[in-house]
Amino acid sequence: MKEALEDMVYQFGYHVVVNNTPAISTGGLSALESAFDALGWDDPHLIDEKGNTCEVVGCMESIVSGVKWGDIYLCLCHNHSMMAYDNQERPPIKDYAIIREQMRDKATGFINDNID
Ligand SMILES: [Zn+2]
């Protein structure tokens, strides 16, 4: 139940940036305010940068697609997805995405996180 509510809030809440940290806000919508109350969340509620924001260094926009850019797969915002599709030079990528891509098996495309 709590997970369902969190999923809904992640999907319908307003994605904002507070002091350089990604967050979700109710935007003053009463249905979201009720959901935040039920979850015991402050408004805005801070969320992890990893998994919730574009993987280009310094970009806090929401992820809209997974795109191959050069030799690696990245989760990117709209603007950076367009740059990738356009084959523009890739800007610096966040460390956690680089580390993940180093674990990707080149043959299968799967992430190999069983490190011997
Ligand atoms: Zn971006």
Domain ranges within the chain, ordered by starting residue: 2-46, 50-116
CA of 116 to the centre of ligand 1 (A): 33
CA of 31 to the centre of ligand 1 (A): 29
Q: Which helix (H) or strand (E) holds 81?
A: helix 78-85
- Residue 107 confidence (pLDDT): 84
pLDDT tens digits, 88-106? 999 999 999 999 999 998 8
CA of 41 to the centre of ligand 1 (A): 26
CA of 54 to the centre of ligand 1 (A): 5
Q: Which helix (H) or strand (E) holds 46?
A: strand 45-46
Of 109 and 58, more confident = 58
| Residue 115 in this model has a pLDDT that exceeds 80 | no
CA of 79 to the centre of ligand 1 (A): 6
pLDDT confidence tier of residue 114, bands split at 50, 70 and 90:
low
CA of 59 to the centre of ligand 1 (A): 5
Overall pTM surpassing 0.75 (yes/no): yes
pLDDT tens digits, 50-65? 999 999 999 999 999 9
Residue indicated by tokens 């369902």:
4
Residue indicated by tokens 């966040």:
94
CA distance 104 to 110: 5
